[in-house]
Amino acid sequence: MSTLTITLQLLLSLSILVITHEFGHFFFSKLFGVKVEKFYMFFDVWFSIFKYIPDGPHKETSIKEGFNFMKHTSVNEDITPIKKKEFDKNPEKYIKLGKDPLVLEEKIEEYDEEVNGKKETWVKISRRTLGGFSLINYTGKKLSEPSKSWWHNTDFGLGWLPLGGYCAITGMVDETQGADKLNHPVQDFEFRAKPAWQRLLIMVGGVLVNFITAPLIFWFLLFGYGERYIPFSDAPMGLQFHEVMKEVGFQDGDIIVSIDGVVTETYKDIANTILFADTCTVQILRNGERMDIGMPREFYRTILSREVAQLCALRFPTVVDSVVTHTPAAEAGLLKGDSIIGVDTLATPCFADFSKRLFEMSGKTTKLVIVRNGENDTLSVDISENGKIGFYPVNPTHWFNIKTREYEFFEAFPAGISMGIDRLSNYVKQLPLIFTKEGASSIGGFGTIAKLFPDEWDWRSFWDTTALLAIILAVMNILPIPGLDGGHILFLLIEIIIGRKVPDKWLEYAQMIGMTLLILLVLYANGNDIFRYLIK
């Protein structure tokens, strides 16, 4: 059930982010009078799951008004130029009329084109084919004249491949169409007909909406839930440290008081400072005495190479809250309120020690040292193969002084913006780490993203993670890589600077290279996830 819950959260979060991102492109396109042919959630490679056609049936299709099932919903018009000498070698290879049942019409014309003073003859194949196959679609009533409504003149759909979404903007070279489809006179409603500043806003629109989405989510989270945190400096049992922290001098039970003289109250303060500082000095409290620990230079490389998920955590005792029936814990006689202070001959003063020790003794029978009603006792218990015995501990929040800052509605707005800027700043600081050997090996795909969500549905956690993903999506999309929004923005900025457009063919080649790199990156990231899963 936990895997299903995580998967559902991941799909819902990505769906929200994709729709809002593409809406940014859609909004500015419609604002400037650019036609958006398709607005799709997920990719409709070969076919789509659902399609809504608000303007009524497209020409020469068999669909009718209302619901239609398993129909081709549109007619595509393609123009393919081929060098005549290539065409003459094997014309049958290129002629599809009469062979492909989807082809409605096909015209073949010759024309001459001069490139760098050299004249060459080309063959232009103009083809009209049935396309847009959809399992389920709903078609509106046929309009007597084109509607000026924002929601008309665009087909909306749900694809089957959950790798993002897209807006098919007329007159634009992108992943949906190449330069060959623009071999016709420019029309007013096309992307390429608009001035550079309008095209720039259309391309920035998706990223802009993602940047806005994150602080809006934080605004409502702060208003609805407030800001809750546990002051690490008040931890009664101190902190539990990862091995990499112990290697530089920390000990379990230490309390981090400040870093370079700046008081640190939360884990976020500690992790961000240690990760992003080239070097720093951590002031701790150990057995009531203050002392300093100097962090080595470029310690982030060790953190990344060792795939450290958490540098430190709060320590709390292992006290039984409830025992699951028909489990080793129940059979051993463990009761609500028992404190577990040891496993076999090893003392386990906190829950982290206890969990680690149980896992080390998976599949064995051992003794638990417990405290019941103020007296020590031992119980014999069988540990399962996954290191569990079958009880729920008292909630960790029971042991700490949780602070909550409440926000009024309008008071939460600037705090949400500040939180969004803080998250954005921290993520941008992490980007250079990707280009290190350790950072590259830590890149992950959907599996890594899924781990951000809890295995039990919690709306607060869901929206907080969605806001973080909105920031990540915005930053990644703004990178000047062809195939991403940032690639289009880069070419538009070049156009504005030099005063003329970059040739469409250049854009198409850059798009192909960029998409290839992105596909390889996706394969690499998800391959890392699979590799980590197999070796653990």
State residue 438's pLDDT score: 55
The two structure tokens encoding residue 99: 């062979």
pLDDT digits (tens, 9 = 90+) for 408-465: 988 899 888 888 888 887 777 677 766 666 556 667 677 777 777 877 788 888 998 8
pLDDT digits (tens, 9 = 90+) for 236-267: 888 889 999 999 999 998 999 889 888 887 88
The span from the CA of 488 to the CA of 167, in Å, is: 14
535 contacts: CB under 8 Å, gap ≥ 6: none
Q: Is the pLDDT of residue 208 over 90?
A: yes
State residue 277's pLDDT score: 79
Place of tokens 């605004």: 219
Name the amino acid, one letter, at 508. E
pLDDT digits (tens, 9 = 90+) for 482-499: 778 888 888 888 888 888
Name the amino acid, one letter, at 243. E
Burial category of 107 from C-beta neighbours within 10 Å (exposed 0-12, middle 13-18, buried 19 and up): exposed
* Most confident segment among 59-63, 272-276, 382-386: 382-386
For 525-530, the CB contacts below 8 A with 24+ separation are 525/443, 525/444, 525/445, 525/448, 526/444, 526/445, 526/446, 526/447, 527/445, 528/441, 528/442, 528/443, 528/444, 528/445, 528/448, 529/444, 529/445, 529/446, 529/447, 529/448, 530/447
State residue 50's pLDDT score: 92
Residue 100: CB atoms within 10 Å: 13
The two structure tokens encoding residue 353: 């020690």
pLDDT digits (tens, 9 = 90+) for 144-186: 776 777 778 888 999 988 777 888 888 876 655 555 566 667 7
Q: Is the pLDDT of residue 24 over 90?
A: yes
State residue 439's pLDDT score: 59
State residue 209's pLDDT score: 93
Least confident interval from 101-110, 325-334, 521-530: 521-530
Q: Is the pLDDT of residue 351 over 60?
A: yes
State residue 1's pLDDT score: 47
Is the Cβ–Cβ distance between 355 and 343 less than 8 Å? no
> Average pLDDT, stretch 366-387?
89
Q: How far is the CA of 188 from the CAs of 32, 150, 194, in angstroms?
A: 10, 17, 8
State residue 32's pLDDT score: 92
Q: Is the pLDDT of residue 319 over 70?
A: yes
User: pLDDT exceeding 70 applies to what percent of the chain?
Assistant: 93
State residue 26's pLDDT score: 93
